[in-house]
């Protein structure tokens, strides 16, 4: 089932593996490296076809200065935070409650409700594009951060509920029964018994949802259209002028836009990996 | 009362004589919607509106700047629901739907004023539909062939003025291991520019406009002749290889690195070429050469415009603003190198001291007698423009498929213009 560990392979296979791995890695990272390289190049390098060579002059400070002080990027970054953070809080809060209800209480429609949450994950979101846009228009939420947050919360809750319900299921049920015997109310059981035990799941889920929402481009383009509401993924295109695309600034902007989720990943690496494997092994 | 009328009349007389905006006191609100959302044009427009405001202190001016792309979808909405008094847009066919829907105000009266009639003659045609004018231009820019003068000098070539010289030049450039023209057709429109010029030079401006309006068959012999001229350049290897994979910007390096000698493009190509290190001694400009000596020369010069929506509330102030924006002084300021860096529309204004703007202004005001086209994707309806530009690109890659491509365009013509 599992691949044989590399140390147990033949000598030739080990050498081939070790020499090909850096090559594959370089290929795989090439687009990212190109973006990083472009972000410190002057615009003229693009016009003269110097795509992969060294920058003709080092313009990192200028480009990043432009991005931070002479463009709308800070505003777009702020929008991204104002969309992502409420979404994370909303989706995690809702799903820990639904997860608790579906994981602890035994009632007849339990499994069916759970399936509905799960089934939501299988709806390709592209087919929702037109109805959701019309809905937000009618609710007066088109081109607002609130509209985007509400939609993301609704759409992410399906996956989060699946995650939380399975986690809560794995908790020892005796803890809850013991609390009930003591006469603790259900609400307090959730708050004082279950929630503290869910901390690793909460952390893992928050990191996952943060990166999902931060990197969302599709809904940002569909539901918002201006600087007052668009997140940074959509705002990057504001570096396209009427005639020319400022590739050097767009690269610098992309690097800046990618920093928060990358920072989040490295700071919370343990939780992130836990989040991906949680429930995979019993 | 009588004396006041006299002063107004006197002011009007002065205004028409010197093209100084009449200082009749304007009051109320003036709402202006702009699509000049990029930082430099935006600052230019806001400064101009501020100068207008100083002249009319009692007028309460409200300016809204909308993202250039978003504006294109929002205009349908705001012209009917929530019309401003002045709105930016584009000339010719791009304004036709709004003119036909009765959403733009007829401003022929402005063109009847002598100062405007003389000053704005070059763009009047682009703003005329059914014999009436529906707005004023505030800026435009020329198209033409930008070429590497140092390469031309090295090969002993001079600027071609007719098709024979053009082909002879190209032959020598190809023989020296370079391409005559760089082009990136990935986003199609660049091929539209080539078609504009070849067709206008082969069949003339009026025929070109008839074709854009769907009045001529794509399988007409005259259209075929245009493509045959194009094919001559393609067959001799005049264009860079694999151009369908480049954007217009990605095609610039060929010119900068000397792998191609020239570029048929709008004046906006000059700025990046200069930034990449080409000096004005290396870079020069010539008008697209004559192909058929029997047709008058006409040029592509995309024009940005101001209009008064039919539902505007303060049309008097809006007209005054249009007069102000097209006056020689304002035209000189907003189109100079520090601002828009394009061509002023008023013949009485002065052009920025820039080699290319000077040549473009001279070309458009004296040597474009056939007419001024707006560019293929503005002159033809959007759907036809898309289909046909796909056809142009395909033709540039597979010139032998011409008959098939033209048959396809002819079918599209039957479907699109009803």
Read out DSSP for B123-138?
HHGGGEETTEE--EEE
Contact between chains at B275 and A47 (C-beta distance less than 8 A):
yes
Least confident of B213-227, B294-308, B371-385: B371-385
The pLDDT of residue B306: 96
The answer to whether residue B389 sits within a structural domain is: yes
Q: Are B295 and B349 in a shared domain? A: no
> With contacts defined as CB-CB under 8 Å, which chain A residues touch B67?
225-227, 238
Q: Yes or no: say if B207 and B222 are a contact pair by the CB < 8 Å rule.
A: yes
Strands B132-133 and B128-129: antiparallel
Q: Which of residues 103-142 of A touch B (CB under 8 A)?
A: none
Q: Which of these, B44, B135, B141, B140, lies nearest to B323 by C-alpha position? A: B135
Contact between chains at A47 and B268 (C-beta distance less than 8 A):
no
Q: Under DSSP, is residue B338 helix (H, G, I), strand (E, B) or coil? A: coil
Q: How many CA atoms are closer than 13 Å to the CA of A260, on its beta-carbon side?
A: 21
Instruction: List the single residue in A42, A47, A244 with the smallest CB-CB distance to B253.
Output: A47
Q: Yes or no: say if B91 and B126 are a contact pair by the CB < 8 Å rule.
A: yes
Q: Are B214 and B289 in a shared domain? A: yes
- The answer to whether B370 contacts chain A (CB < 8 Å) is no
Question: Most A CBs within 10 Å: which of B33, B34, B36, B38, as the mutation test of the A interface?
Answer: B38
- The answer to whether B75 contacts chain A (CB < 8 Å) is no
The Cβ of residue B359 has, within 10 Å, a number of other Cβ atoms equal to 18
Q: pLDDT digit string (tens) for B43-90?
A: 899 999 999 999 999 999 999 888 777 788 788 888 988 899 999 999
Closest chain A CA to residue B278: A48
Q: Are B259 and B406 in a shared domain? A: yes
The answer to whether residue B12 sits within a structural domain is: no
Contact between chains at A44 and B272 (C-beta distance less than 8 A):
yes
Q: Looking up tokens 């860079």, which residue turns up?
A: B240
- The answer to whether A44 contacts chain B (CB < 8 Å) is yes
Q: Under DSSP, is residue B301 helix (H, G, I), strand (E, B) or coil? A: coil
The nearest CA of chain A is from the CA of B143 a distance in Å of 14
Q: Are B126 and B148 in a shared domain? A: no
Q: Are B65 and B127 in a shared domain? A: yes
Kindly report the pTM of this predicted structure.
Answer: 0.79
The pLDDT of residue B204: 94
The answer to whether residue B19 sits within a structural domain is: no
The answer to whether residue B28 sits within a structural domain is: yes
Q: pLDDT digit string (tens) for B237-282?
A: 999 999 999 999 999 999 999 999 999 999 999 989 998 899 999 9
- The answer to whether B187 contacts chain A (CB < 8 Å) is no
Judge whether residue B19 has pLDDT over 80.
no
**Domain range annotation of chain A:** 6-68, 69-277
Averaged pLDDT for residues B82-107: 91
The answer to whether residue B1 sits within a structural domain is: no
- The answer to whether B277 contacts chain A (CB < 8 Å) is yes
| Overall number of domains in chain B | 2
**Pairwise CA distance, residues B418 & B411, whole Å:** 12
Tell me the ipTM for this assembly: 0.71
The pLDDT of residue A279: 56
The answer to whether residue B233 sits within a structural domain is: yes
Q: Yes or no: say if B163 and B289 are a contact pair by the CB < 8 Å rule.
A: yes
Question: Most A CBs within 10 Å: which of B253, B269, B278, as the mutation test of the A interface?
Answer: B253
Q: Under DSSP, is residue B21 helix (H, G, I), strand (E, B) or coil? A: coil
Q: What is the pLDDT along chain A (282 residues), one digit of tens a residue?
A: 567 777 788 888 889 988 999 999 999 999 999 999 999 999 888 888 888 888 888 888 999 998 888 888 899 999 999 999 999 999 999 999 999 999 999 999 999 999 999 998 888 888 998 999 899 989 999 889 999 999 999 999 999 999 999 999 988 899 999 999 999 999 999 999 999 988 888 988 998 899 999 999 999 988 987 778 899 998 888 787 777 888 888 999 999 999 999 898 888 887 777 666 665 554
Contact between chains at A49 and B266 (C-beta distance less than 8 A):
no
The nearest CA of chain A is from the CA of B45 a distance in Å of 15
Task: Please report the number of interchain residue pairs, chain A to chain B, with beta-carbon separation below 8 angstroms.
Answer: 46
The pLDDT of residue B15: 44
Share of chain B above pLDDT 90, in %: 71
Q: Yes or no: say if A231 and A83 are a contact pair by the CB < 8 Å rule.
A: yes
The pLDDT of residue A105: 92
Instruction: List the single residue in A44, A243, A245 with the smallest CB-CB distance to B276.
Output: A44
Q: Which residues is A139 bridged to in the sheet?
A: none
* pLDDT confidence bin for B39, thresholds 50/70/90: confident
Radius of gyration of chain A (CA): 24
Q: Which residues is B129 bridged to in the sheet?
A: B132
Please name the residue ranges forming H helices in B57-157. 68-81, 96-100, 108-112, 114-119, 121-124, 149-154
Q: Which of residues 218-247 of A touch B (CB under 8 A)?
A: 225-227, 238, 241-245, 247
Contact between chains at A43 and B254 (C-beta distance less than 8 A):
no
The answer to whether residue B18 sits within a structural domain is: no
Instruction: List the single residue in B249, B254, B271 with the smallest CB-CB distance to A46.
Output: B249
Q: Yes or no: say if A234 and A217 are a contact pair by the CB < 8 Å rule.
A: yes
Q: Which of these, A222, A217, A208, lies nearest to A264 by C-alpha position? A: A208
Closest chain A CA to residue B248: A244
Instruction: List the single residue in A44, A48, A241 with the smallest CB-CB distance to B257.
Output: A48
Q: Which of these, B237, B225, B240, lies nearest to B291 by C-alpha position? A: B225
Select the more confidently predicted residue: B14 or B83: B83
**Pairwise CA distance, residues A153 & A161, whole Å:** 12
The answer to whether residue B16 sits within a structural domain is: no
Contact between chains at B257 and A243 (C-beta distance less than 8 A):
no
> With contacts defined as CB-CB under 8 Å, which chain B residues touch A248?
none
Q: Is A80 exposed, middle or buried (0-12, 13-18, 19+ CB in 10 A)?
A: buried
Q: Are B100 and B88 in a shared domain? A: yes
Dihedral sign from CA coordinates of A247, B246, A242, B348: positive
* Of B338, B355, B372, the domain-final residue: B372
**Pairwise CA distance, residues B166 & B152, whole Å:** 12
The pLDDT of residue B27: 87
Q: Under DSSP, is residue A140 helix (H, G, I), strand (E, B) or coil? A: coil
> With contacts defined as CB-CB under 8 Å, which chain A residues touch B272?
43-44, 47, 244
Provide the residue range defining the domain that includes B204: 143-300+381-416
Q: Looking up tokens 């504009």, which residue turns up?
A: B196
- The answer to whether B258 contacts chain A (CB < 8 Å) is no
Judge whether residue B232 has pLDDT over 60.
yes
**Pairwise CA distance, residues A149 & A86, whole Å:** 7
- The answer to whether B273 contacts chain A (CB < 8 Å) is yes
Judge whether residue B8 has pLDDT over 70.
no
- Architecture of domain A69-277 in this structure: Orthogonal Bundle (1.10)
Q: Are B147 and B136 in a shared domain? A: no
The pLDDT of residue A111: 92
Closest chain A CA to residue B249: A47
> With contacts defined as CB-CB under 8 Å, which chain B residues touch A238?
67
**Pairwise CA distance, residues B42 & B65, whole Å:** 8
Judge whether residue B10 has pLDDT over 60.
no
Q: Is A8 exposed, middle or buried (0-12, 13-18, 19+ CB in 10 A)?
A: exposed
Closest chain A CA to residue B36: A242
From residue B59, alpha-carbon distances to A142, B47, B53, B190, B330 in Å are 33, 16, 7, 44, 19
Closest chain A CA to residue B246: A49
Q: How many CA atoms are closer than 13 Å to the CA of A153, on its beta-carbon side?
A: 19
Averaged pLDDT for residues B371-385: 88
Closest chain B CA to residue A221: B70
The Cβ of residue A53 has, within 10 Å, a number of other Cβ atoms equal to 11
**Pairwise CA distance, residues B170 & B179, whole Å:** 8
Closest chain B CA to residue A50: B253
The string of DSSP letters for A217-239 reads: -HHHHHH--STTT--HHHHGGGG
The pLDDT of residue B7: 45
Q: What is the CATH number of the domain that holds B94?
A: 3.40.190.10
Judge whether residue B93 has pLDDT over 90.
no
The pLDDT of residue A231: 93
Q: Under DSSP, is residue B350 helix (H, G, I), strand (E, B) or coil? A: coil
- The answer to whether A57 contacts chain B (CB < 8 Å) is no
Contact between chains at A245 and B249 (C-beta distance less than 8 A):
yes
Contact between chains at A49 and B257 (C-beta distance less than 8 A):
yes
- The answer to whether A48 contacts chain B (CB < 8 Å) is yes
> With contacts defined as CB-CB under 8 Å, which chain A residues touch B266?
243
Q: Are B180 and B270 in a shared domain? A: yes
């Amino acid at each position: 089932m599992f691949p044989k560990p590399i140390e147990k392979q033949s000598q030739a296979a080990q050498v081939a593996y070790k020499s090909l791995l850096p090559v594959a890695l370089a290929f795989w990272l090439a687009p990212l490296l190109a973006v990083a390289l472009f972000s410190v190049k002057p615009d003229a390098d693009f016009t003269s076809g110097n795509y992969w060579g060294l920058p003709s002059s080092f313009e990192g400070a200028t480009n990043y200065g432009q991005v931070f002080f002479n463009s709308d990027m800070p505003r777009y970054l702020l929008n991204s935070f104002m969309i992502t953070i409420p979404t994370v809080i909303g989706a995690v809060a809702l799903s820990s409650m639904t997860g608790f209800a579906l994981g602890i209480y035994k009632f007849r429609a339990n499994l069916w409700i759970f399936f509905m949450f799960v089934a939501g994950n299988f709806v390709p979101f592209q087919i929702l594009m037109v109805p959701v846009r019309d809905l937000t228009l009618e609710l007066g939420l088109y081109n607002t951060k609130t509209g985007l947050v509400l939609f993301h919360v609704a759409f992410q809750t399906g996956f989060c509920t699946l995650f939380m319900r399975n986690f809560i299921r794995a908790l020892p049920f005796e803890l809850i029964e013991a609390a009930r015997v003591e006469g603790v109310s259900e609400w307090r059981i959730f708050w004082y018994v279950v929630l503290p035990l869910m901390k690793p799941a909460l952390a893992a889920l928050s990191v996952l949802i943060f990166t999902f929402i931060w990197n969302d481009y599709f809904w940002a383009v569909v539901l918002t259209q201006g600087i007052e509401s668009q997140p940074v993924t959509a705002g990057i295109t504001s570096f396209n002028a009427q005639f020319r695309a400022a590739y050097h600034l767009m690269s610098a902007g992309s690097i800046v836009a990618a920093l928060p989720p990358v920072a989040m990943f490295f700071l919370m690496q343990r939780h992130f990996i836990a989040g991906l494997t949680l429930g995979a092994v019993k | 009362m009588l004396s006041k009328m006299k002063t107004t009349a006197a002011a009007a007389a002065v205004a028409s004589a010197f093209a100084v905006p009449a200082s009749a006191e304007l009051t109320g609100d003036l709402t202006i919607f702009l699509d000049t959302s990029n930082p430099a044009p935006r600052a230019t427009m806001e400064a101009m509106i501020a100068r207008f405001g100083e002249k009319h202190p009692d007028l309460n001016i409200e300016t809204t700047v909308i993202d250039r792309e978003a504006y294109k979808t929002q205009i349908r909405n705001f012209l009917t629901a929530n019309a401003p008094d002045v709105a930016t847009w584009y000339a010719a066919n791009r304004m036709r739907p709004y003119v036909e829907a009765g959403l733009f105000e007829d401003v022929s009266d402005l063109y009847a004023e002598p100062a405007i009639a003389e000053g704005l003659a070059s763009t009047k045609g682009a703003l005329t539909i059914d014999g009436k004018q529906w707005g004023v231009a505030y800026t435009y820019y020329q198209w033409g062939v930008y070429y590497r003068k140092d390469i031309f000098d090295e090969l002993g070539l001079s600027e071609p003025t007719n098709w024979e010289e053009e082909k002879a030049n190209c032959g020598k450039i190809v023989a020296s291991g370079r391409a005559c023209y760089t082009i990136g057709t990935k986003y199609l429109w660049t091929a539209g520019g080539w078609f504009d010029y070849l067709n206008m030079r082969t069949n003339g401006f009026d025929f070109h406009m008839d074709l854009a309006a769907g009045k001529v068959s794509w399988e007409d012999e005259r259209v075929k002749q245009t493509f045959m001229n194009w094919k001559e350049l393609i067959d001799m290897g005049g264009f860079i290889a694999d151009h369908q994979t480049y954007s217009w910007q990605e095609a610039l390096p060929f010119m900068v690195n000397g792998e191609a000698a020239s570029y048929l493009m709008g004046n906006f190509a000059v700025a990046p070429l200069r930034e990449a290190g080409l000096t004005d001694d290396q870079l020069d400009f010539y008008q697209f050469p004559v192909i058929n000596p029997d047709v008058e020369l006409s040029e592509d010069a995309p024009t940005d415009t101001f209009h008064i929506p039919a539902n505007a509330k303060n049309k008097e102030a809006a007209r005054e603003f249009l007069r102000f924006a097209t006056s020689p002084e304002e035209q000189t300021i907003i189109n100079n190198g520090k601002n828009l860096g394009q061509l002023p529309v008023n013949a009485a204004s002065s052009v920025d001291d820039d080699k290319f703007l000077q040549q473009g202004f001279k070309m458009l005001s004296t040597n474009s007698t056939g007419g001024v086209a707006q560019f293929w994707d503005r002159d033809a309806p959007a759907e036809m423009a898309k289909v046909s530009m796909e056809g142009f690109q395909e033709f540039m890659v597979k010139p032998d498929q011409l008959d098939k491509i033209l048959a396809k365009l002819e079918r599209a013509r039957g479907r699109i213009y009803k």
